[in-house]
Each structure stands twice: as structure tokens, then as C-alpha cells.
């Protein structure tokens, strides 16, 4: 890291930005190897500059996409870059960020003291919670995925893996990953 550019960034925040770039953004897929963790540290100062005291992540997203495509010759993945940018923006500006959570708001703005909690559709809430739990991969499924991924070169991995979740009520779910015309079923219907 260029010490002049990061001198005013708290060390903890530098480390957090570096970790997000290495473990979440990682266009070169280095985090699953023995490559040094500091690979993307030279970008920390610019990521901070494009994020600090900002509400919009579009400039940061464009920056990450440009780095990945033009400087690293990786496949364009703006959706991923935007998600990482939103996370970085929230960390740098210390704001809440819950991208994978369904928020349920209860309006209690009326003056009555009796809030009718029965008005919430509890079946719908239970199904949302069940769905989120079923979409989480188990430790074994993740290990199986990484073992399968090792057969592909870094260049092929740059094309991106697609993950498909199929949910059938009463039968369970099926999770399939695909890359370069090959497919791996991580979870099949019960």
C-alpha cells in the first residue's frame, strides 16, 4: 500500500477494506489459494476515496469493474462488483447493510396502545425464514463445491460460476452449480 495515500485511513479500516477486496471481490479467484492476502492492497486508498461520506456506490462499482476487466483481463461482473461496492460503502461509512435479509416492518405509528401483531401473516413469515435457511449451503456442500472447482483453470473460473436453486414445496430443494458446460449437483430433492 502506498503509505501517503492511506496514512489518514485507520489501520482497522484498511485491513477491513483489504479483506473485503481479497475475500469478497477477488476477480482473480486468489482467496482459495496460497496466494498472498495483500494482492489487492494497492487499491485500498482509491476504494476509500470513492466511498468515504458517499451514499452512491456507482463510481466505486465502475472502478472495481474497470480494474477487473481492463487491468486483470477478467470477465465483466457488474452485479458482483456492485454488491461488493455496497458492502464497502457500508463498512467505510459505518452504515447498516443487510443484503440477504427480508425486512418486515410493523407500523406502530397510530396512537393506539394495542398493536395487532395478529395482522402479520405468520405463515408467510415462517416460509420466508424457512426459504432463507434452505438456501444456505452446508459446510459439506461448500467443501464439495471447492473440490469440484479445482478441476478448472483460473482463466475458466473468471467466466463465473452459475448457481441454480430449485425449490419444490414438499420435495425440498435442488442446488446445482455450472461452469464451462460442466455441472455439479450439491443438493438434490429429498
How confident is the model at residue 2, as a pLDDT? 46
Q: 99 or 31: whose pLDDT is higher? A: 31
Q: Is the pLDDT of residue 9 over 80?
A: yes
Mean pLDDT for the chain overall: 77
Count CB-CB contacts under 10 A for residue 56. Answer: 10
CA 86 vs. chain centroid, Å, equals: 9
Q: pTM to 2 decimals?
A: 0.52
User: What pLDDT score does 107 carry?
Assistant: 45
Q: 61 or 150: whose pLDDT is higher? A: 61
Please count the CA atoms within 13 angstroms of the CA of 50 that sit on its side-chain side.
17
Instruction: Please write the tens of the pLDDT for every residue from 64-83.
Output: 999 999 999 989 999 999 99
Please check the confidence at residue 182 and state whether its pLDDT lies above 80: yes
The mean per-residue pLDDT over the stretch 1-27 comes to 82
Please state the domain extents for the chain: 3-92, 122-187
Per residue in 104-151, pLDDT (tens digit) is 444 444 444 444 445 555 555 555 555 445 556 677 777 787 788 778
For 93-105, the pLDDT digits (tens) are 888 766 655 544 4
- Please name which of 169, 99, 166 lies closest in space to residue 127, comparing C-alpha atoms: 169
C-alpha span between 128 and 125 (Å, rounded): 5
Amino acid at each position: 500500500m502506498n503509505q501517503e495515500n492511506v496514512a489518514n485511513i485507520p489501520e482497522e479500516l484498511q485491513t477491513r477494506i483489504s479483506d473485503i477486496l481479497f475475500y469478497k471481490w477477488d476477480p482473480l479467484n486468489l482467496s482459495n489459494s496460497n496466494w498472498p492476502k495483500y494482492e489487492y492492497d494497492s487499491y485500498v486508498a482509491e476504494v476509500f476515496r470513492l466511498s468515504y461520506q458517499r451514499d452512491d456506490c456507482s463510481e466505486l462499482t465502475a472502478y472495481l469493474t474497470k480494474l477487473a476487466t481492463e487491468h486483470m483481463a477478467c470477465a465483466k461482473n457488474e452485479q458482483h462488483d456492485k454488491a461488493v461496492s455496497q458492502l464497502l460503502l457500508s463498512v467505510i461509512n459505518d452504515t447498516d447493510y443487510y443484503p440477504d435479509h427480508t425486512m418486515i416492518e410493523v407500523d406502530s405509528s397510530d396512537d393506539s396502545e394495542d398493536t395487532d401483531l395478529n395482522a402479520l401473516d405468520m405463515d408467510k413469515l415462517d416460509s420466508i425464514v424457512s426459504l432463507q435457511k434452505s438456501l444456505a449451503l452446508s459446510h459439506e456442500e461448500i467443501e464439495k463445491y471447492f473440490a469440484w472447482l479445482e478441476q478448472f483453470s483460473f482463466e475458466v473460473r473468471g467466466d463465473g460460476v452459475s448457481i441454480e436453486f430449485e425449490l419444490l414445496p414438499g420435495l425440498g430443494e435442488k442446488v446445482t452449480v455450472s461452469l464451462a458446460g460442466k455441472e455439479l449437483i450439491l443438493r438434490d430433492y429429498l
